[in-house]
Structure 1
Amino acid sequence: MTQAPDSSASNALNAVEDNVQGVVEQGRTAVTELLAWIAEDTQSVTLALAITLAVTITALLIKWGVSFARQRMDESSLARVMLGTAERLSAMTFLIIGAAIGLSATSSPQSVLDAIWYVLGLVLIIQVAAILRGLAVDLVQRRALQRADSRSAVWNGIAIIKWAISTFIWSAAFLVLLDNAGVDITALIAGLGIGGIAIGLAAQGLFSDLFAGISILFDKPFKRNDLIEFGECLGTVSKIGLKTTRLRSLSGEEIVIRNTNLLDMTIRNFQRLEERRWLFQIGVTYQTAADQLEQIPDWIKTIIDETDQARFERAHFCRFADSAMEFEIVCHAQSLDYAVYMDVRHAVNLALVRKFADEGVEFAYPTRTLMLARDDGSVVAPAATLQTQERGDQ
């Protein structure tokens, strides 16, 4: 038969109460026997106290030495992060460990020894949780700051991760403490799991945006002031938040997009261009002589080489089009600035117009030649037909 929830909770509280009462009784017994042992065996008490102080002082000296060596290391080094564990060891932990060693080395009462080991177990649970939490946070922060332009750029993301790590580790430590207190934590873990699933489903969109924002902050597909394009949007990144990213479009309005939606798209980051590539075609008429066709690539190369912040790559006579013989040209504007890129195109195009005019080469444009035929199938030249028509009009 299944127990009601109220009955299970009542049984758990009764188990905790019984355990606490047992611990209190053992504590009273340990204190009574400790006082009696101090009065009867001063030599053993003095030895235990000396061992306790020696262990504590030695541990503190080692901790201070490690801390001094850590301060001389590079802030972003992994060794510095690992040695930070020593700074989280408290003097109380050293004192209890020293007491446990001192009491074990002497003829102390068994109840006193059991009590100090019980306390040491509780202290170590808390101490290990604090060490793991600090180590995990330091590792995340070290990696984040290595990839960030400034500490402020990842502060919000680190704060969220700190909260998540702290919640997980301290919850686990609390469950272990409850287990030591005699509480059956199986039902509690199951309840927490079901509650976590319910909360996750209810806030699925929020959490997905938060993790997407953290991914952007750490992975750095773009940063503030970068010019990016996604979908049909093009703009400069003005703010990267944990839920949304804001862009200032070229036309001036602000674009706000959820981080999850943003990462689902293909993002083009123009800020990381080393130079802008420009591929274009020009066409000349079919009346252009072969010698001039052969010289055109050299003319284009010379023009591009003489243009400021332009780099020539290639120029080829690529195909016979319907109304032109086409050349394909590739060059590069050696600047990230879009205005400079357009200045290069302007200068090259203008120089090409002037050069072709000087050489007597005509640019082609879409044309169509209409041929007339007589009844016998012979072709009539358009010019002859026009002259005949003019004589008839006269």
Structure 2
Amino acid sequence: MSTTNTTAAKAPIFDADDVQGQVQDLYVASEVWLHTHWLQILIAFATGAVIVVALHGLRKLGERLCGKHIAGGTPLRRGWGMIVGRAVTRTSNFFIVMLAAKLVVGYAGAPSQVATTVNFLWTVASVFQAAIWARELILGAIEHRTSSEHYSGEALLSAMGLIRLLVTVALFAVALVVVLDNLGVNVTGLIAGLGVGGIAIGLAAQGIFGDLFAALAIIFDRPFRRGDKISYGTTSGVIESIGLKSTRIRAFTGELRVISNKQLLDKEIQNTSVRDHIRIQFTIGAAYETPPDTLARIPAMLREIAEGEGGKVARSSFESFGASSLDFVLQFDIPGDDWATAHPMRDRVMVSIMTRFAAEGIVIPYPTQTTYTAAPDGTLVMPYAVADRPAS
């Protein structure tokens, strides 16, 4: 019994003859096409030229739109018009030419080899051009927020370099995967590799990325901005700067507090700069010996005093029976958020209440305690003088 070993010949990865044959077929098909469709080709080229000129004009319009936002060589506050204009100016000549070719290749009756080549080049041009436009719009939106909301320039300008790098890498990685997929390449392994690499980088720098995304959340959600007065936890102060990693807050007691952006957003933040009024509350007691008709007039007295000083009264009424007094509550609002104005008004209202109560004979009692002692014989010693009873 004989055994025959057959070795299968492996096809070469790169066959020069095959490539040469494809180029020859493309040349022949193009020559035939030029001879048979020369009129359609001339019309298509003329149409393509018009499209190219129109798109170049649109790009010039974008440059002019950007120029309107520049005065004396210095960019003004970035608006959406400038952002769109800057994105339009990033339109590449390759994309313009391929767009024109894509629009006219069908009309000219191009052979399949030419149409396939145009479709491939159009896919490459459109995908990467879309990535460029998306990058400019995203970065422009971030810059628009940082400039219009008066965020810290130095810190966020240094952060823009990292943000630009991250956005560029992410968008062009997606564009590369889309192009390879259109070429018929199996991108499953590439996507898996990019995913594993992204997870590894994210775990290694999760603190930095957490603070970076928190900074972006502050920019877009705008819970506060530079110069705002905020309170969080047991701390109150004024925002001095918002950076890539942390936010700096000047406490009302004078010290500078630095807190990471993520840790700050995890807390409940009270922004006192955006309130339109400051509410003041007084609890005033009147002695139990005060006549009922006078007690009935006290709420109106308190309202009159507060409104006379410019406050807007929210409540002026009887509150409760206290241990030593009948308690009344006065709540009034002072417009604005400036305590430098609110405190003097508060003091004037308090003094006016004391003056009015004195004029009306209303006593504001304070808690008192009476102590009784006993004599050696057990009789009670009164803490006050006792008048002698007249003899009967």
Q: Same fold (TM over 0.5)?
A: yes
Quick one: structure 1 residues 124 and 313, their matched pair in 2 at CA, closer, same or farther if it must change by over 3 Å?
Answer: closer
SS at match of 2:283: strand
Quick one: structure 1 residues 107 and 314, their matched pair in 2 at CA, closer, same or farther if it must change by over 3 Å?
Answer: closer
* Paired residues of 2:65 and 2:85 also in contact (CA < 8 A): no
Q: CA deviation at 1:33?
A: 3.9
SS at match of 2:177: helix
Quick one: structure 1 residues 383 and 132, their matched pair in 2 at CA, closer, same or farther if it must change by over 3 Å?
Answer: closer
Task: Give distance in 1, aligned partners of 2:86 and 2:17.
Answer: 38
Structure 1: 5+ residue stretches without partners: 1-14, 389-394
Q: CA deviation at 1:37?
A: 2.4
- Which structure has greater helix proportion? 1
Question: Percent identical across equivalent pairs?
Answer: 28
Task: Give distance in 1, aligned partners of 2:59 and 2:26.
Answer: 36
Quick one: structure 1 residues 306 and 94, their matched pair in 2 at CA, closer, same or farther if it must change by over 3 Å?
Answer: closer
* Paired residues of 1:76 and 1:146 also in contact (CA < 8 A): no
Task: Give distance in 2, aligned partners of 1:272 and 1:192.
Answer: 44
Moved more, 149-158 or 334-343: 149-158
* Paired residues of 2:211 and 2:260 also in contact (CA < 8 A): yes
User: Residue 342 of structure 1 aligns with which residue?
Assistant: 343
User: Residue 293 of structure 2 aligns with which residue?
Assistant: 291
Q: CA deviation at 1:234?
A: 0.7
User: Residue 250 of structure 1 aligns with which residue?
Assistant: 252
User: Residue 231 of structure 2 aligns with which residue?
Assistant: 229
User: Residue 54 of structure 2 aligns with which residue?
Assistant: 61
Matching of residues 1-394 of structure 1 within 5 Å = 18=13, 25=20, 28-29=23-24, 33=28, 37=31, 44-45=37-38, 47-61=40-54, 64=57, 89-99=91-101, 111-134=113-136, 144=145, 148=149, 162-179=164-181, 183-307=185-309, 309-369=310-370, 383-385=384-386
* Paired residues of 1:89 and 1:127 also in contact (CA < 8 A): yes
Task: Give distance in 1, aligned partners of 2:152 and 2:26.
Answer: 52
Task: Give distance in 1, aligned partners of 2:130 and 2:114.
Answer: 24
Amino acid at match of 2:268: T
Task: Give distance in 1, aligned partners of 2:106 and 2:57.
Answer: 27
Structure 2: 5+ residue stretches without partners: 1-10, 70-77
Measured on the aligned residues, the alpha-carbon RMSD in Å equals 4.3
Q: CA deviation at 1:122?
A: 2.9
Q: CA deviation at 1:55?
A: 2.1
Deviations 1:214-233 (A, max 9, x none): 11111111111111110010
Amino acid at match of 2:44: I
Moved more, 98-107 or 197-206: 98-107
Deviations 1:52-93 (A, max 9, x none): 232231353266369759959999679x98898776654433
Deviations 1:129-148 (A, max 9, x none): 33444455566667x47973
Amino acid at match of 2:281: L
Deviations 1:260-290 (A, max 9, x none): 1111111111111111011220112222222
TM-score when normalising by structure 2? 0.75
Amino acid at match of 1:313: A
Quick one: structure 1 residues 111 and 381, their matched pair in 2 at CA, closer, same or farther if it must change by over 3 Å?
Answer: closer
TM-score when normalising by structure 1? 0.75
Quick one: structure 1 residues 134 and 226, their matched pair in 2 at CA, closer, same or farther if it must change by over 3 Å?
Answer: closer
